[in-house]
């Protein structure tokens, strides 16, 4: 083979290799390959807000806060669980944990019907999945820390909030921890307007410790809403829209 043909063949091989590397890199960045613990989390809105300037609900089930960077002061691989005290209105304050395989439950969840969180009502609508408007909503999901009928970890939230965005992010964290055996700092803070008994939503924060947020990093506000229902957040009463 002539030296000219050899050079052409070498250039062609180098070009093909470069293209392959670029394609693989794009696939990893897009999460198409290499992220086996991820779930189909709803596409994140691009606009970012501060926790002091959360916009009124306008159709998006959640919004990003602080460019999706959590507000944690520090990070640790030591496991802990903190459930803030109820305030003078009986409202939950904050639930904060460092989730790992060790914090996850090994038994099935028991009944939580004995807990009546602030603003609790039993309301049913035929167009809601399961019919009930309100759920007793775990701030930190049972699958992450095994907390069951803990009144400091249960708020009144809509079916849409509980099994929608909140569950999606809980599943994402649970899948990541099971896959990697790493720790995830996880905090959920209900947000109330004034003396309202029902939270207008909750701030959810998550950060994977060992890989510095590569696997898990989010900071979002999830709205406590239900399509087709008007909610009086002061006391939990509700009406069809």
Domain ranges (residues) in the chain: 1-34, 47-240
Task: Evaluate if residue 14 carries a pLDDT over 60.
Answer: no
Q: Which CATH class is domain 47-240?
A: alpha beta
Please state, in angstroms and rounded to a whole number, the distance separating the CA atoms of residues 65 and 219.
5
Please state, in angstroms and rounded to a whole number, the distance separating the CA atoms of residues 143 and 27.
30
Query: How sure is the predictor about 33, in pLDDT bands with cuts at 50, 70 and 90?
Result: very low
pLDDT of residue 176: 98
Task: Evaluate if residue 15 carries a pLDDT over 80.
Answer: no
Residues 6+ apart with CB under 8 A from 130: 159
Residues 6+ apart with CB under 8 A from 224: 157, 158, 161, 198, 199, 200, 201, 202, 231, 233
Task: Evaluate if residue 23 carries a pLDDT over 50.
Answer: no
pLDDT of residue 8: 52
CA-nearest of 172, 175, 203, 198 to 187 is 203
Task: Evaluate if residue 146 carries a pLDDT over 70.
Answer: yes
Average pLDDT, the chain: 87
Helix (H, G, I), strand (E, B) or coil at 64: strand
- How far does the chain reach from its first CA to its final CA, in angstroms? 79
Tokens linked to 184:
């995830």
What share of the chain in percent tops pLDDT 90?
77
Query: How sure is the predictor about 12, in pLDDT bands with cuts at 50, 70 and 90?
Result: low
Task: Evaluate if residue 42 carries a pLDDT over 50.
Answer: no
Residues 6+ apart with CB under 8 A from 169: 41, 204, 206, 218, 220
pLDDT of residue 38: 44
- What is the CA angle 26-27-32, rounded to 5? 150
Span 197-217, mean pLDDT? 98
Please state, in angstroms and rounded to a whole number, the distance separating the CA atoms of residues 134 and 153.
15
Task: Convert 122-139 to b/e letters by CB count within 10 Å (16 or more is b).
Answer: ebeeeebeeeebbbbbbb
Span 165-179, mean pLDDT? 97
Span 193-204, mean pLDDT? 98
pLDDT of residue 47: 87
Task: Evaluate if residue 20 carries a pLDDT over 70.
Answer: no
Please state, in angstroms and rounded to a whole number, the distance separating the CA atoms of residues 229 and 57.
13
Task: Evaluate if residue 65 carries a pLDDT over 80.
Answer: yes
Q: Are 44 and 64 in contact (CB under 8 A)?
A: yes
């Amino acid at each position: 083979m002539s030296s000219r043909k050899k050079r052409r063949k070498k250039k062609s091989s180098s070009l093909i290799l470069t293209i392959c590397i670029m394609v693989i890199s794009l696939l990893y960045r897009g999460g198409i390959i290499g992220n086996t613990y991820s779930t189909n989390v709803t596409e994140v809105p691009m606009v970012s807000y501060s926790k002091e300037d959360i916009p009124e609900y306008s159709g998006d089930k959640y919004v990003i806060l602080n460019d999706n960077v959590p507000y944690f002061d520090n990070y640790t691989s030591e496991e802990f669980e903190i459930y803030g005290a109820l305030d003078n209105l009986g409202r939950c304050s904050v639930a904060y944990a460092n989730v790992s395989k060790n914090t996850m439950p090994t038994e099935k969840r028991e009944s939580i019907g004995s807990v009546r969180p602030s603003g609790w009502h039993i309301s049913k609508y035929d167009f809601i999945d399961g019919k009930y408007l309100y759920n007793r909503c775990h701030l930190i999901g049972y699958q992450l820390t095994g907390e069951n009928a803990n009144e400091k970890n249960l708020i009144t939230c809509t079916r849409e909030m509980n099994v929608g965005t909140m569950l999606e992010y809980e599943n994402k964290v649970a899948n990541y921890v099971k896959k990697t055996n790493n720790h995830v700092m996880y905090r959920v803070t209900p947000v109330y307007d004034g003396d309202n008994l029902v939270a207008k939503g909750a701030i959810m924060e998550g950060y994977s410790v060992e890989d510095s947020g590569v696997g898990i990093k989010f900071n979002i506000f999830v709205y406590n809403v239900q399509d087709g229902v008007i909610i009086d957040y002061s006391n939990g009463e509700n009406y069809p829209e």
